[in-house]
């Protein structure tokens, strides 16, 4: 499937916004009095951060190819 440059940039912007929120969530959860109680939530958030970071990299690569 082919996406326009605008679609790719908007998808990247949305993912980066979600990444920012996830990073804030991890900071909040790790800063709690007993972060061990939130271990599964922290792990899930970190895995999502990794997945979204990969998505951003792929979008950037695709956007670079489509602009040529």
| DSSP letter for each residue of 29-65 | HHTSS-GGGGHHHHHHHHHHHHHHHHHHHHHHHHHHH
Query: How confident is the model over 9-62, as pLDDT tens digits?
Result: 999 999 999 999 999 999 999 999 999 999 999 999 999 999 999 999 999 999
Cα(5)–Cα(16) distance, integer angstroms? 16
Q: 1 near 59, Cβ under 8 Å?
A: no
Question: What range does the domain containing 51 cover?
Answer: 5-66
In total, how many domains does the chain have? 1
- pLDDT at residue 57, as a whole number: 97
pTM, 2 dp: 0.88
């Amino acid at each position: 499937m082919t996406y326009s440059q605008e679609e790719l940039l908007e998808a990247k912007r949305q993912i980066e916004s979600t990444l920012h929120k996830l990073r804030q969530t991890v900071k909040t959860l790790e800063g709690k009095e007993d972060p061990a109680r939130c271990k599964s939530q922290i792990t899930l958030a970190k895995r999502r951060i990794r997945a979204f970071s990969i998505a951003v990299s792929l979008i950037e690569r695709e956007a670079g190819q489509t602009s040529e």
